[in-house]
Amino acid sequence: MSVQARLLDLLRSLVAELNLAVVIVTHDLAVARLLSHRVMVMKGGRVIETGLTDQVLDDPREPYTQLLVSSILPP
């Protein structure tokens, strides 16, 4: 198992066991999908889209979010 995968598993278990709220800043949308319930997409330092992770990543409203999702996540 990779170091990243082990770290993500540890983080998920700590959040669940200790009932923590965690803010994750990432460019990796797969990590965002795995770890978060809600996501905020930023462009130029401003929030352009926010919502439930699956909703934003599966059906993005903003053109910039659509571009991110289509260029990073497999169909």
Task: Tell me the per-residue pLDDT of 15-62, one tens digit each, with 9 for 90 and over.
Answer: 999 999 999 999 889 899 989 999 999 999 999 999 999 999 999 999
Q: Domain for residue 70, yes or no?
A: yes
Instruction: Please tell me whether residue 12 adopts helix, strand or coil conformation.
Output: helix
- Taking CA atoms, 58 is separated from 25, 45, 52, 61, 70, in Å, by 19, 23, 10, 10, 10
Q: Is residue 48 within 8 Å of 64, Cβ to Cβ?
A: yes
In a domain, 16, yes or no: no
Which pLDDT value is given to residue 58?
95
pLDDT for res 72: 66
pLDDT one-digit tens code per residue, 59-75: 999 999 999 998 865 54
- Three-state DSSP at 11 gives helix
Q: Which domain holds residue 32?
A: 24-75
Counting the structural domains of the chain, the total is 1
Residue 3 lies in a domain: no
Q: Does residue 5 lie in a domain region?
A: no
Is 50 within the bounds of a domain? yes
